Chain A
Amino acid sequence: MAVDISRSALEGASSMTGGETRFDVAVVGAGPAGTTCALLLARAGLEVALIERGPYPGSKNTFGGVLYRHPLEQIVPRFWERAPIERKVIDKQYWLLTEDSAVKLGHRSRRFAEEPYNTFTVLRAKFDRWYAEEAREAGAMLIPSTVALEAIRDERGRVIGVRTDREQGDLYASVVVAADGVNSLLSRQLGLHGELRPEHVALGVKEVIALGEDRIRERFNLEGDEGADISLLGAVTKGMVGGGFIYTNRDTVSVGVVANADAYRRSGNSPVDLLEEMKAHPLIRPLLEGGQLKEYQAHLIPEGGFDAMPPLCADGLLVVGDAAGLVNAAFFEGSNHAILSGQLAAETILEAKSKGDFSAQALAGYERRLRQSVTLRDLKGLRRLPGLLHSHPQYFAIYPELLNEAAHHFLAADGRPKRDKVRGALKAVTARRSPWQLLRDLWDVWRGTNLWP
């Protein structure tokens, strides 16, 4: 049905302009970045096309599972009252896993159970669809089931529209916004960057498993619509850079594992097996027992950071969200930066429109805004991290084991004097990593993360 609506809409727009379909802005991709941009531009009165290749927004999209309050709250105030959110996260945990044990760190706060809340679990097929509907209601024309095949350029190379896979599907616009995700065929076709490098992307695979609300509350110690967010590091990735996750949705859980694509290639590990083994882990299996699979998903994540980003603008073009590589992998952030980039792109386009100039120079304000924002300040601060993790796999392979071994020595009820237990715990660590190596690893993280005030 969505297909028919959009087709007539597209033809309607085309006939209004005497054959040529013209918009102020064509946004390619109705994910968080593209929809934010389209929504804000439509509110400002611009003619906006929001092109989505799936039958509805969200139908091609997935992520781990957590949406942040900021910056969506600025765009849709009190969105949690209307958006299809699953649970309000009150509990964030990190499990450092071996094959049969875990050292757990976490934070649970009642403050996160109260307005304005903090983070929310969402399912993207529902959330993105709702969000794009907001844009549509604001006046953007949503065009689903439509692939943007390539950018249309004029004789001087300026982007002036997109060619879609519809019959007579050329759309002309003053600005095209590439919000077409990690694979961004659009920005590669334009030569903004070459093929993604394996070390710059991570592959995530995920299952949505139905458990029922009662079991979720019991197993994760939650009340009402409170949620838990568990990050899993260590054995689940078999030494590859990455980690697993468990997020509680309303009556399902999202369970998945993410690992660097180059690490997959070098190790020969299979993502299919990795996820199955993670679900069978003795500390994870009881949480999922009796669940029923609802969906299996896979997606790439651009984790190359600051130095892997493509150019963000060209004549008549802006690149936002995953297409621009705006993911802070160390902190599991992406959708928030996507939304912010969409917002900054919209501000820039409005400024360009007021001047009637859509050249790369006029659109460069987008990059300036992004550099001043939390997105690029964080990514820049962490620019060395992707390379560091690549050259220091011990953070994922050895440290979870060391910590578990030390904890086991210290906590084992074996009647030994405490001094011996502390010595045993320290020995368990230094047997695998010398004091010098420990210091070196610590120093490298310190140096690799320029976040310290």
Chain B
Amino acid sequence: MALALRIEDKLYITKFRVDDKSHLKIKDKEKCRQCIGRPCLTCCPVRGYQLQEDGTVAADYEGCLECGTCRVLCPEQNLEWHYPTGGMGVIYRYG
């Protein structure tokens, strides 16, 4: 296997038990539309935030590594960030 991998492949190899509900919630979509910089788009280590055509941002919780960077960097503190339900989310086998 080549060493250089796309993030999708890295997440495929990493183990998850996906919760049926999202632990990330964008509080006010309008704020993302007006956000300058949108650090979540570049800083998320799994590229979990995607800019939508209407200028809002969509959060993908399924591949989230629960690091908290998006929450810390959100200029508007516009994220409701929880841990996934106990036992769910990423499950490191190496760590």
| Interface residues, chain A, with chain B CB atoms under 8 Å away | 3, 53-55, 58-62, 123-128, 144-147, 164-166, 182-183, 185, 195-198, 201, 203, 205, 207-209, 252, 261, 264-265, 268-272, 276, 279-280, 285, 288-289, 291-300
Contact = CB atoms under 8 A, between A and B. Distances in A.
B69 A203 contact: yes
A387 B66 CA distance: 27
A295 B92 contact: yes
B69 A261 contact: yes
Interface string B49-79: 0000000000000000111110111000100
Given A55-B87, A185-B83, A299 B67 contact: yes
Contacts of A205: 45
A80 B18 CA distance: 35
Nearest to A252: B94
Which label, helix, strand, loop or mixed, suits the secondary structure of the A interface?
mixed
Contact of B85 (A165, A197, A261, A276): A165
Given A3-B87, A203-B67, A299-B67, A270 B14 contact: no
B92 A289 contact: no
Given A58-B92, A165-B85, A295-B14, 19 more contacts: A55-B91, A60-B92, A61-B95, A125-B92, A127-B95, A146-B87, A185-B83, A195-B72, A197-B72, A203-B43, A203-B45, A264-B69, A265-B73, A269-B42, A291-B3, A293-B13, A295-B93, A295-B94, A298-B65
B72 to A, nearest CB: 5
Contact of A147 (B42, B86, B91, B92): B86
B10 interface: yes
A146 B85 CA distance: 7
B68 A183 contact: yes
B36 to A, nearest CB: 11
A93 B28 CA distance: 47
Query: Which residue among B10, B85, B86 has the maximum number of chain A CB atoms within 10 Å of its CB?
Result: B86
Contacts of A252: 94
B6 to A, nearest CB: 9
Nearest to A197: B72
B46 interface: yes
Given A165-B85, A166-B86, A265 B92 contact: no
Interface string B16-55: 0100000000000000000001010011011100000000
Nearest to A290: B3
Interface residues of B, number: 41
Contacts of B71: 183, 195
A279 B4 contact: yes
Given A201-B72, A265-B39, A272 B65 contact: no
A298 B92 contact: no
B46 to A, nearest CB: 7
Given A165-B85, A196-B72, A296-B13, A59 B43 contact: no
Contacts of A201: 69, 72
B95 to A, nearest CB: 3
B73 to A, nearest CB: 5
Given A54-B87, A125-B92, A272-B47, A185 B82 contact: yes
B92 A293 contact: no
16 contacts: A58-B95, A60-B92, A62-B95, A124-B94, A124-B95, A147-B84, A195-B72, A196-B72, A197-B72, A201-B69, A203-B43, A261-B69, A270-B42, A272-B47, A289-B3, A296-B14
B73 A164 contact: no
